[in-house]
Amino acid sequence: MKSMGATQEEYYRGVRMIRYDLVKELAIALGAAGLLGLVLAAAFSSPDVPQVTIATWAQSDPLDFVTTAADELAGSTTSAGYGNPYNTAGEGQSWGPIGPQKWFGTRIPIDSANAFVIQPLQRASFSNANLASALKTWQDSDADQQGKWLDAYSKALPDATVTDGNVAVVAGDYGPLPVMMANLLGIAQAGALDGLLVSGGHFYQTDYTQPLLFMGDGGYLSGLADQAHLTGSQWGMMNETGSYPGQTWLWLYTMWYQVFPFTSDDGFLGLNAGNADLGIIILMTLLTTALALVPFIPGLRDVPRWLPIHRLIWRRYYAPRRSSASRIEAPQL
Amino acid sequence: MAVATSVESAGSSQPESASWTLKLRQAIDRHLPMDHLLPDRQPYFVGSWVYVFGVVTIAALVWVVVSGVVLTFMGPQWWHVSGVGRFFNSLHFWSVQLFFIFMVLHLWGQYFMAGWRHGRAATWMIGVVIFGISVLTAFTGYLSQQNFDAQFIAINAKDAMNGAGIGVFFNVLNFGQMYGLHVMLLPIGVTALVVAHIVMVRTRGVVKPIDAEGGAQS
Amino acid sequence: MDTPTTYFHWGFILISTPNLLVIAGMVVLFAIALVAPFPHAEADDDGRRN
């Protein structure tokens, strides 16, 4: 560490110095990088697969939409049973005593059944007596009755028929559900649900938590994502739509989701598929810290000395002494 | 240097330690004189393309910022509806790819040169922090695209953020929050740290070859 | 470029052609940078020492 506090003059004392134009180098680099970027942009453009709206979802796959909406009422979707920060229905992830998902509480409260189904229907029931009466029947019934209707309806849905964008189930005791679902589907197909889910009483909107959670509960968006190799089990975070490169720099983070113990239900040392998100964030934090601390970690900091790659980079310095050629004489460092 | 001396002597009528301004200027002169910030000579062993990866990373960052400023000025929906907008988005996209490619090549190069030796550990550590913040900046950029990719990345990534407890403060489903971070705070962070990184490199100069003075850790 | 690309699957590894090209390109570029001669004008070296 003797050079720690040394000035550059002391550090380089006796070293042969050659002319080197840093500013010219930067200017050339700017031109080269800009030219390369321009050529790539002109030749390949950039990925832009259009967004999915709740309207396109309800139009393209009405059955998936209605099934998801019924599941929201039954409380069986991902968001309904999520836990923090949206609700208290789920445990959330933890590893031993480490459970940050629990620590921070329900900060973005979302009641899926109400937010995604009941409230939008209530707003739409204005001047729609049929829907208003169905909604009243639903709300006046006890949870037990609602559960029976939902159970019967959900069992009938897989055999439902879709005609002209409408979903029809065989006759049965579903209470007001078919009317509610037909209306919600109609509102969604018309594009009104897209607006209702982001409004939240505000005029200006920038927060899409509700519609994204709702779409995430369905099978339509994740089906499209699966085709594009974007899901978690497909290294999705480093992939991109079309034939474009993605966030390749996330390869290590994404890799952990594909290997033991994060793919296993039993896992190892309490780390498993159930708390993979937490485990991998902790692991990546540790690895990134280790990368930052490489200068101080014995072994890791010595690898460059053991590998001869530096001898290629500094081959002028390591070149054998040649007395006749003064320009590459051995340095007196 | 003659100027600095004359100013110092002019200020000597009062106790030298009294002027914070003078002390700051003297500290800058001592640690980073202009001939260190913009040297026209380098040690003769600086002669490999591996040294060039750092400057190309900076060049790519400049293009990322330039194209990003245009996109920000025109608003987040412009590039979906305008051919010119799409071109600037493409320039932004590919510049980001180049930025990361050359940043990682620079990291590989510095690792194999053990560039942290001789009092340069802080430079390496800030470099790692720049890499981390750049990943976060790119991630918020992907979330700000307003297309299918952004939608599914948000849905997919929320579980990681929520599982780690970060989702409460960093809601990937909130476009406004992600967009604000992407166009303002995070780029300022990356740029400021890159400036600090360059200043630290220039303050100490490039590191000597391995074994020039003992082991890699010396 | 908007048409879906080919994915390679080896064991747990699943990678798209463009991502593979980027990573392979980086390795190749690094290797070239290691061995390619760096241009230095003879005139740059006037034998001066610090």
- Among chain C residues, CA nearest to A242: C2
pLDDT the model gives residue A319: 83
> Closest by alpha carbon to B124, among C9, A293, A193?
A293
Residue appearing with tokens 């720049």:
B130
Is C19 in contact with A243 (Cβ distance < 8 A)?
no
| DSSP letters for A110-144 | --HHIIIIIHHHHHHTTT-HHHHHHHHHHHHS-HH
* pLDDT number for residue A148: 97
Residue B106 predicted with pLDDT over 70: yes
Q: Could you give the maximum distance between any two Cα atoms of chain C, in Å?
A: 59
Instruction: Give the containing element (helix H, strand E) for A287.
Output: helix A276-292
Q: How far is CA B141 from CA B15, B138, B159, B162, in A?
A: 53, 5, 18, 19
Is the CB of A209 less than 8 angstroms away from the CB of B63?
no
Q: pLDDT of B185-209, one tens digit each?
A: 999 999 999 999 999 999 999 999 9
Write down which chains contact chain B via at least 3 CB pairs under 8 A. Answer: A, C
Do the strands A161-163 and A166-168 form a parallel or antiparallel pair, or are they unpaired?
Answer: antiparallel
Nearest Cα residue to A8 out of B45, B50, B41: B41
Q: Mean of the pLDDT values across residues B11-24? A: 74
Would an 8 Å CB–CB cutoff place C19 in contact with chain A?
yes
Cα(B67)–Cα(B64) distance, integer angstroms: 5
Chain C residues in contact with B148 (beta carbon < 8 A): none
Number of other residues whose CB lies within 10 A of the CB of residue B21:
9
Give the residue with greater pLDDT, A273 vs B212. Answer: A273
Question: Residue ranges per domain, chain A?
Answer: 54-227
For residue B190, give the H/E element and its range: helix B186-204
DSSP H or E stretch at residue B103:
helix B83-112
| CB < 8 Å from B in window 151-180 of A | none
Q: What is the pLDDT of residue A200?
A: 74
Interface of B with A in 68-87 (CB under 8 A): 79-80, 86-87
The conformational region for residue A105 under phi > 0 = left, psi -120 to 50 = alpha, else beta, is left
ipTM of model = 0.93
- Cross-chain Cβ contact A243/C43 below 8 Å: no
- Residue B43 is classified by DSSP as E
CA–CA min distance A49, chain C (Å): 8
Q: Does B173 touch chain A (CB under 8 A)?
A: yes
How much is the CA Rg of chain C, to the nearest whole Å? Answer: 20
Let me know if B105 is exposed, middle or buried by CB neighbors in 10 A (0-12, 13-18, 19+): buried
Flag whether pLDDT at B14 surpasses 60.
Answer: no
What span, in angstroms and rounded, lies between the C-alpha atoms of B155 and A212?
Answer: 7
Alpha carbons A207 and B103: distance in angstroms, whole number = 33
Q: B125 pLDDT exceeds 50? A: yes
What's the pLDDT at A2? Answer: 43
Domain assignments of chain B as residue spans, ordered by start = 51-101, 114-207
CA distance B79 to B141: 14
Identity of the residue in A44, A235, A327 whose CB atom sits nearest the CB atom of C14:
A235
| Residues B109, C26: C-beta atoms closer than 8 Å | no
The rounded distance, in Å, linking the Cα atoms of B143 and B149 is 8
Closest by Cα among B32, B31, B98 to B64: B98
pTM given for the model: 0.92
pLDDT per residue as tens, chain A (333 positions): 444 456 888 899 989 999 999 999 999 999 999 999 999 999 999 999 999 999 999 999 999 999 999 999 999 999 999 999 999 999 999 999 999 999 999 999 999 999 999 999 999 998 899 999 999 999 999 999 999 999 999 999 999 999 999 999 999 999 999 999 999 999 999 999 999 999 777 889 999 999 999 999 999 999 999 999 999 999 999 999 999 999 999 999 999 999 999 999 999 999 999 999 999 999 999 999 999 999 999 999 999 999 999 999 999 898 875 544 444 444 444
Residue B27 has pLDDT above 80, yes or no: yes
pLDDT digits (tens, 9 = 90+) for A59-87: 999 999 999 999 999 999 999 999 999 99
B56-96 pLDDT tens trace: 999 999 999 999 999 999 999 999 999 999 999 999 999 99
Distances (CA, A) of A63 to A149, A156, A162, A171, B49: 18, 11, 7, 17, 59
Report the distance separating Cα B102 and Cα B1, nearest Å. Answer: 38
pLDDT in 10s for each residue of chain C, 50 residues: 888 999 999 999 999 999 999 999 999 999 999 999 998 766 777 778 87
Which residues of chain B neighbour A249 with C-beta distances below 8 Å? 100, 104, 135, 138
List residues of B whose CB lies inside 8 A of any C CB. 41, 43-44, 47-53, 97, 101, 104-105, 108-109
Q: What is the pLDDT of residues A119-136, one digit of tens each?
A: 999 999 988 999 999 999
Kindly tell me the sign of the dihedral angle through the C-alpha atoms of A185, A189, A190, A191.
positive
Give the residue on C whose Cα is nearest the Cα of A255: C13
Which residues lie below 8 Å from residue A245, measured CB to CB, with a gap of 6+? B97, C16, C18, C19, C21, C22
Closest by alpha carbon to B62, among B84, B89, B91?
Answer: B91
CB contact under 8 A, B86 and A230: no
How far does the CA of residue C12 sit from the closest CA of chain A (Å)?
A: 6
Topology (CATH level 3) of domain B114-207 = Cytochrome Bc1 Complex; Chain C (1.20.810)
Contact between chains at C26 and B47 (C-beta distance less than 8 A): no
Cβ pair C29:B48 closer than 8 A: no
Size of interface A-C (CB pairs under 8 A): 83
- Determine the distance in angstroms separating the CA of B18 from the nearest CA of chain C, rounded to an integer: 36
A167 close to A62: Cβ distance less than 8 angstroms: yes
| Cβ–Cβ contact C48 with A under 8 A | yes
pLDDT at res. A260? 94
Rounded distance between C-alpha atoms, residue A208 and residue A189, angstroms: 19
Q: Taking the CB of residue A208, how many other CB atoms lie within 10 A of it? A: 22
- A26 at C interface, C-beta within 8 A: no
Question: Which chain A residues contact residue B112 at CB under 8 A?
Answer: 304, 307, 309-310, 313
Residue A282 · residue A262 · CB < 8 Å? no
In chain C, where the domains are located: 1-35
Are C2 and A235 an interchain contact pair (Cβ–Cβ within 8 Å)? no
CB contact under 8 A, C1 and A47: yes
Residues of chain B contacting residue A2, judged by C-beta atoms under 8 Å apart: 213, 218
Across B158-174, average pLDDT: 95
ω before A120 within 30° of 0 (cis)? no
- How far is residue A64's CA from residue A50's CA, in Å, rounded to a whole number? 20
Instruction: Report yes or no: A81 and A89 within 8 Å, Cβ to Cβ.
Output: yes
Q: For B49, which residue in chain C has the nearest alpha carbon?
A: C33
Q: Is C4 on the interface with A (CB under 8 A)?
A: yes
